């Protein structure tokens, strides 16, 4: 009885997360409708407090509307989160599948490479990569992908090793089907659930990573992002707290929603997790 | 100015005594007499890598090094030369021969005598090798001789009116020949223990923490310096510096020590004085640099339109919190030969759009007429804000800017390869348009090197005016040329001048005679006192 | 900053007799140690090579930066600088020289500060170790306490509260937590200093000095610690719930031991092992997070050194910091690994 109740509570979390994400997606999609002017425009007097002159969340040191910044920032955060996760998945699934399916020396070598990337402090590596290739959408997505693929590779490799030994895969091999066909049609679909769960968590950490880079001034200078607004508000926090506070709340809620959704997905896709080893 | 020099020469004969007396008199009139003693606590940002001037010419090195080393001359806030290691000087009628009479009884910190040999070594060897600025000017010295140990004669190939400006400590510091002659100046072991003629010598340098200077007891001005010593603390964080100033732990800040947004609250403190003077020698002028090779920036109407689209007052007041002044001319208002009547295009977005229409650049989809790349200047937050302001301002007249950010190395290399459409730049003016302004606009200086005419502006008329002013021996004709060139440049807008930067010096009111020179805190401080 | 999807893999079987394989495992430990050491060196070499190549891909070089800062430049001046930094040599030669110097612990000289890089790093290292050490201790103690509390009351309101709290800190950007703490405790309440590491020029000595530093340490250590506290709390809870379901706990319960005793003596002890191990591995990653925290609080550690070096394009410093942090991570991993094997001999191969 208790287990069922808890599962419901958890589902409620996942549901809440999903609804909130839908709202963020809508905000991103309709940013240009809600705020027809560019978020970079100096719409009002600098340092207008929240609620005055029609600025719901106030303005920053140049008189830019913080609310507009958050709406347009949602686009950037979601875009970077999604694209960099896809890129990380491409690297991670590719290498993990190769290692898990091939085994032997290839597996060994690929796992050494994976370990190597897990050893380097990931945030510092991302900072160095973005700085060297100068901040742009491409370099940020690339850097996030490069520091976040190793867990994918490990999970995929483990799944492939297990699945490869299963009867239905061996049966397919005996039938003489091509490797590509076996990997794509037999193994990959069965390895998908943990990858999906992992992906939703990776979008969350990608959003966090992007905001940290932007905060340090390593964001794409053409894209209004949440981390950028916080970074630009830092030095004037004594004059205008609202510039740093609201975008932070936006990041927090979005990341939280993604985490809740990821956990909900994990439980739905893997009944074993209902036993309570939730992480 | 020709008369000026002779007048100054007359003054210079007894200059030192007269000057000293005048200062003391001023102070006494204010009810405060110079008092000997006391340690000045200041701050230095960032920590200089080395204290040897010439080897390093960055602002922090200059600020500390100028207490240890001296030049032949120093310069007032109106950039008049004043005697220092040269007690007087003469200029021949044809303006090609400069004779400096050196101050007698000057000793190096190691006890050796300072002589004409040191002067010639410093000019012709040390600074010629190390400093690009000195090299450019001193290359035209035909001969440098010392008829006696207290006299130096320099003969130029042709007249060069701003020549004296090169003898400030920030341009040509006097270095000890007996230490450096025949060595690699950059790696000389004595670089750890600087030997100069200045009123202070290095006492102790705890890297990462503080630099402590102490009074040089055998300094050549009797009774001076007044201060027992100066401590420069290294406080890398701007908020900690502001706090230290607020709580009275430090008595003097300068340059970028205090962030613009903190200035208003220090203005309100009755114990502190804020001075924006003391940067006249450098007069940094910031501008929006336009690559004149890129279409449609090659069209003068487009450049004028951009100039009309920018509200310089907003920049000075909102971004720099009143510590900068709107620019009015390519020659900063604190530099010699600035035309007081000069003024730039007014802030008038409508006129800007009309100019763009006239140039045939009609708005397309989304009101965008054309798109340019904009390379941010990676020197800190306020410069990023400035770029964002410019993007918004130009967006209003239909010019879209795509921002590109980079690090200082990337910026310098993109500039030297002319690989940009627009960017922000700021340059020192060094007191005279020939020294600090000409380099940005004459076609002979279109080079693949930073801080040259990187925008690629080329106009034979401008070239001719600068060339004429360079060699014109008298002030009146130079003034005429420079006024003409200002008018021409303002009309042509090779770059869009934005603001004149002034770096506020903030000090306790108990600290006296801090800013008395056009080089401000980069003076030698032998007359600064606490009372 | 890394998320941790493979945490569950580390939950071990309960510890039984320690002495049985001790002698055998010590030998195994020595062999294993040698192998790990060789691997560690290989990883360090790879890191050095990768860093070197990456940073040399960058546009612009320090000669142009320095020339720019001197306010004027001509090609001759830039050529002089490039030569004196060895930047005019072939890339492979530069790499070889770099590796040879690293082997002798010579990390080169900073372009902008004219000082040996190793000295710069060693100067800043204590501040970073103090910050990360304090944050780590706080995260571990608070995380285990919260996790144990949640596990003890699994399914009740306390559990939900702890879970939500952990989830919240896990989802908050670390730099924003820092800013909010500054806003509340420094700007609004004025209780704690917000920037730096000590009161400048106060001249405190002895205990007063450490109390002063302690006041400055609270906010940055909390900021860095809260995220990891969330991680450890979730991990502890999971491990304890897992252990609680195992046979030997049922045996203990059957023997009539009190719940409190079972929790302390059996569950917690066995659940802590994976937590501590994971924490040991994570300790290295704390240094990455400290870059951000040091930026927010102007804490004078190597994170700030690295970031300033990055802005000034001071390659040797950047390479040095990167190499040192990676080396620290490798050493932490090795130490945790060996310690773990010593505590739980059955993990030895």
Residue A64 lies in a domain: yes
| B421-434 as b/e: b if 16+ CB within 10 A | bbbbbbbbbbbbbb
The mean pLDDT of B401-406, rounded to a whole number, is: 88
Tell me which chain C residues have a C-beta less than 8 angstroms from the C-beta of A215: 173, 175, 292, 295
Determine, for residues A122 and C160 on separate chains, whether the beta-carbon distance falls below 8 Å: no
Residue A52 lies in a domain: no
Determine, for residues C76 and B132 on separate chains, whether the beta-carbon distance falls below 8 Å: yes
Q: How far apart are CA C198 and CA C275, in angstroms?
A: 33
Structure tokens at B279: 């940067």
* Domain ranges, residue A235: 2-37+57-274
Each domain of chain B, given as residue ranges in start order, spans 2-193+505-530, 285-501
Q: Nearest by CB to A235, which of B259, B318, B392?
A: B259
pLDDT value of position B315: 94
- The predicted complex's ipTM stands at 0.84
Chains touching B (at least 3 CB pairs under 8 A) are: A, C
Q: What is the pTM of this model?
A: 0.80
Does residue A181 sit at the B interface (CB-CB below 8 Å)? no
Residue where the block lists tokens 């004779």: B99
pLDDT value of position B21: 42
- Listed in sequence order, the residues at least 6 apart from B485 whose beta carbon sits closer than 8 Å to its beta carbon are B433, B462, B465, B466, B469
pLDDT value of position B110: 94
Confidence of residue B89 (pLDDT cuts 50, 70, 90): very high
**Residue C158, SS3 per DSSP:** helix
pLDDT surpassing 70 at residue B95: yes
State pLDDT tens for residues B439-460: 999 999 898 877 889 999 999 9
* CATH for A258: 1.10.3720.10
B338: number of Cβ within 10 Å: 22
Q: Is C50 left (phi over 0), alpha (psi -120 to 50) or beta?
A: alpha
The mean pLDDT of B297-319, rounded to a whole number, is: 94
Determine, for residues A237 and C325 on separate chains, whether the beta-carbon distance falls below 8 Å: no
Residue A186 lies in a domain: yes
Tell me which chain C residues have a C-beta less than 8 angstroms from the C-beta of A124: 287-288, 291, 306, 321-322, 325
- Asked if B82 and B74 touch (Cβ cutoff 8 Å), the reply is yes
* CB-based burial label for B7 (10 Å; 0-12, 13-18, 19+): exposed
pLDDT value of position A165: 80
Tell me which chain A residues have a C-beta less than 8 angstroms from the C-beta of B381: 217, 232, 235
Q: Cα B186 to the chain's mean position, in Å?
A: 23
Taking CA–CA distances from A213, the nearest residue in chain C reads C292
Start-to-end Cα distance in chain A: 22
pLDDT value of position B525: 94
Tell me which chain C residues have a C-beta less than 8 angstroms from the C-beta of B207: 115, 123
Packing angle between helix C269-297 and helix C174-181, nearest 10 degrees? 70
Q: Nearest by CB to B403, which of A46, A222, A235?
A: A222
Residue A50 lies in a domain: no
pLDDT surpassing 70 at residue B421: yes
pLDDT value of position C183: 86
Testing the interface with B: which of A135, A215, A235, A236 to mutate, by most B Cβ within 10 A? A235
- Architecture of domain B285-501 in CATH? Roll (3.10)
Structure tokens at B524: 């030698």
- Asked if B40 and B510 touch (Cβ cutoff 8 Å), the reply is no
Residue A16 lies in a domain: yes
Those residues of chain A that have pLDDT short of 70 are 1-10, 270-279
pLDDT value of position B524: 93
Taking CA–CA distances from A43, the nearest residue in chain B reads B392
Q: What count of Cα atoms within 13 Å lies in the side-chain half-sphere of residue B463?
A: 11
Determine, for residues A116 and C1 on separate chains, whether the beta-carbon distance falls below 8 Å: no
pLDDT surpassing 70 at residue B98: yes
Determine, for residues A134 and B387 on separate chains, whether the beta-carbon distance falls below 8 Å: no
Q: How many domains does chain A have?
A: 1
- Asked if B335 and B432 touch (Cβ cutoff 8 Å), the reply is yes
Q: How far apart are CA B217 and CA B175, in angstroms?
A: 19
A52: number of Cβ within 10 Å: 12
Bridge partners (DSSP) listed for residue A42:
A64
- Architecture of domain B2-193+505-530 in CATH? Alpha-Beta Complex (3.90)
pLDDT value of position A10: 58
pLDDT value of position C348: 41
Taking CA–CA distances from C59, the nearest residue in chain B reads B410
Residue-averaged pLDDT of chain B: 88
Those residues of chain C that have pLDDT short of 70 are 1-25, 29, 55, 58-75, 77, 84-85, 111-114, 199-203, 281, 284, 310-313, 315, 340-349
């Amino acid at each position: 009885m208790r287990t069922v109740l808890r599962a419901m509570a958890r589902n409620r979390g996942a549901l809440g997360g999903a609804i909130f994400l839908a709202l963020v997606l809508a905000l991103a999609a309709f940013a240009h409708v809600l705020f027809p002017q560019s978020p970079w425009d100096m719409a009002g007097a600098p340092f207008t407090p929240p609620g005055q002159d029609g600025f719901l969340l106030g303005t920053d040191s140049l008189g830019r509307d913080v609310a507009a910044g958050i709406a347009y920032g949602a686009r950037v955060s979601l875009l970077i989160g999604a694209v960099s996760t896809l890129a990380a998945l491409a690297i991670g699934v590719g290498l993990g599948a190769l290692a898990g399916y091939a085994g032997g020396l290839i597996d060994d070598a690929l796992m050494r490479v994976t370990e190597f990337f897990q050893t380097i402090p990931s945030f510092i590596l991302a900072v160095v990569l973005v700085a060297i290739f100068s901040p742009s959408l491409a370099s940020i997505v690339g850097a996030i992908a490069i520091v976040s693929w190793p867990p994918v590779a490990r999970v995929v490799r483990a799944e492939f090793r297990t699945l490869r030994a299963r009867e239905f895969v061996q049966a397919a091999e005996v039938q003489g089907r091509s490797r590509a066909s076996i990997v794509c049609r037999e193994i990959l679909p069965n390895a998908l659930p943990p990858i999906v769960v992992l992906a939703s968590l990776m979008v969350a950490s990608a959003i966090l990573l992007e905001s940290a880079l932007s905060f340090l001034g390593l964001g794409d200078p053409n894209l209004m992002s949440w981390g950028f607004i916080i970074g630009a508000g830092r030095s004037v926090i004594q004059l205008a707290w609202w510039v740093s506070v609201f975008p932070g709340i936006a990041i927090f809620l979005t990341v939280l929603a993604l985490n809740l959704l990821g956990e909900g997905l994990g439980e739905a896709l893997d009944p074993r997790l209902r036993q309570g080893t939730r992480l | 100015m020709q008369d000026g020099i002779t007048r100054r020469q007359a003054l210079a004969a007894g200059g030192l005594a007269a000057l000293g007396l005048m200062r003391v008199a001023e102070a006494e009139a204010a009810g405060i007499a110079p008092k000997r003693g006391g340690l000045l606590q200041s701050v230095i940002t960032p920590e200089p890598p080395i204290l040897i001037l010439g080897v390093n010419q960055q602002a922090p090195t200059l600020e500390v090094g100028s207490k240890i080393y001296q030049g032949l001359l120093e310069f007032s806030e109106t950039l008049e030369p004043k005697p220092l290691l040269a007690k007087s000087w003469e200029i021949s009628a044809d303006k090609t021969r400069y004779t400096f009479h050196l101050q007698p009884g000057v000793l190096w910190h190691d006890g050796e005598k300072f002589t004409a040999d040191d002067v010639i070594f410093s000019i012709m060897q040390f600074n010629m090798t190390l400093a690009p600025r000195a090299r450019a000017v001193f290359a035209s010295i035909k001969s440098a001789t010392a008829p006696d140990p207290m006299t130096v004669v320099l003969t130029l190939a042709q007249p060069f009116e701003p020549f004296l400006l090169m003898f400030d400590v920030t341009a040509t510091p006097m270095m000890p020949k007996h230490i450096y002659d025949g060595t690699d100046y950059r790696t000389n072991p004595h670089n750890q223990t600087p030997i100069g003629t200045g009123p202070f010598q290095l006492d102790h340098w705890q890297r990462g923490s503080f630099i402590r200077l102490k009074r040089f007891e055998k300094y050549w001005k009797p009774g001076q310096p007044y201060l027992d010593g100066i401590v420069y603390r290294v406080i890398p964080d701007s908020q900690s510096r502001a706090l230290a100033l607020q709580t009275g732990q430090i008595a003097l800040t300068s340059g970028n020590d205090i962030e613009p947004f903190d200035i208003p609250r220090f203005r309100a403190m009755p114990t502190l004085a804020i001075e924006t003077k003391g940067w006249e020698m450098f007069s940094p002028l910031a501008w929006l640099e336009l690559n004149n090779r890129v279409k449609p920036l090659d069209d003068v109407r487009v450049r004028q339109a951009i100039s009309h689209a920018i509200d310089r007052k907003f920049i000075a007041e909102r971004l720099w919190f009143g510590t900068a002044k709107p620019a009015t001319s390519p020659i900063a208002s604190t530099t010699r030969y600035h035309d007081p009547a000069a003024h730039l295009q007014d802030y008038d977005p409508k006129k800007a759009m009309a100019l763009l229409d006239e140039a045939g650049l009609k708005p397309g989809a989304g009101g965008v007429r054309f798109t340019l790349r904009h390379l941010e200047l990676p020197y800190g937050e306020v410069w990023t804000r400035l770029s964002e302001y410019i993007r918004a301002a130009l967006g209003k007249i239909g010019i879209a800017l795509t921002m590109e950010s980079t690090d200082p190395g990337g910026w310098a290399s993109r500039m030297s390869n002319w690989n940009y459409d627009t960017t922000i730049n700021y340059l020192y003016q060094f007191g005279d348009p020939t020294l600090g302004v000409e380099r940005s606009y004459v076609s002979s200086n279109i080079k693949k090197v930073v801080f040259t005419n990187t925008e690629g502006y080329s106009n034979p008329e401008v070239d001719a005016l600068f060339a004429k002013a360079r060699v014109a021996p008298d002030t009146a004709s130079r003034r005429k040329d420079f006024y003409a060139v200002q008018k021409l440049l303002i009309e042509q807008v090779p770059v869009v001048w934005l603001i004149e930067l002034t770096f506020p010096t903030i000090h306790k009111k108990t600290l006296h005679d801090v800013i008395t020179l056009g080089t401000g805190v980069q003076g030698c401080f032998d007359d600064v006192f606490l009372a | 900053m890394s998320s941790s999807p493979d945490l569950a893999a580390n939950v071990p079987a309960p510890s039984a007799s320690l002495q049985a394989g001790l002698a055998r495992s010590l030998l195994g430990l020595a062999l294993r140690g040698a192998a790990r050491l060789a691997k560690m060196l290989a990883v360090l070499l790879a890191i050095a090579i990768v860093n070197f190549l990456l940073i040399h891909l960058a546009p612009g070089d320090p000669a142009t930066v320095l020339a720019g800062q001197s306010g004027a430049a001509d090609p001759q001046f830039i050529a002089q600088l490039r030569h004196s930094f060895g930047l005019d040599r072939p890339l492979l030669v530069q790499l070889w020289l770099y590796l040879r110097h690293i082997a002798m612990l010579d990390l080169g000289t900073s372009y902008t500060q004219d000082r040996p890089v190793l000295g710069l790093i060693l100067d800043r290292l204590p501040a970073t170790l103090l910050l990360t050490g304090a944050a780590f201790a706080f995260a571990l103690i608070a995380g285990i306490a919260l996790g144990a509390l949640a596990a003890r009351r699994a399914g009740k309101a306390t559990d939900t509260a702890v879970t939500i709290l952990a989830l919240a800190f896990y989802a908050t950007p670390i730099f924003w937590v820092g800013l909010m703490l500054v806003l509340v405790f420094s700007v609004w309440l004025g209780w704690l200093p917000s920037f730096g590491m000590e009161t400048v020029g106060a001249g405190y000595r002895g205990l007063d000095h450490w109390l002063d530093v302690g006041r400055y340490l609270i906010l940055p250590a909390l900021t860095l610690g809260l995220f990891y506290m969330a991680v450890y709390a979730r991990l502890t809870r999971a491990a304890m719930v897992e252990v609680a379901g195992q046979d030997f706990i049922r045996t203990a319960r059957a023997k009539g031991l009190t719940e409190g005793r079972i929790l302390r003596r059996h569950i917690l002890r066995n659940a802590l092992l994976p937590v501590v191990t994971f924490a040991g591995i994570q300790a290295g990653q704390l240094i990455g997070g400290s870059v951000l925290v040091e930026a927010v609080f102007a804490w004078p550690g190597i994170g700030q050194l690295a970031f300033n070096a990055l802005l000034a394009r001071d390659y040797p410093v950047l390479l040095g910091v990167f190499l040192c942090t990676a080396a620290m991570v490798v050493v932490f991993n090795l130490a945790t690994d060996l310690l773990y094997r010593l505590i739980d001999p059955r993990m030895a191969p």
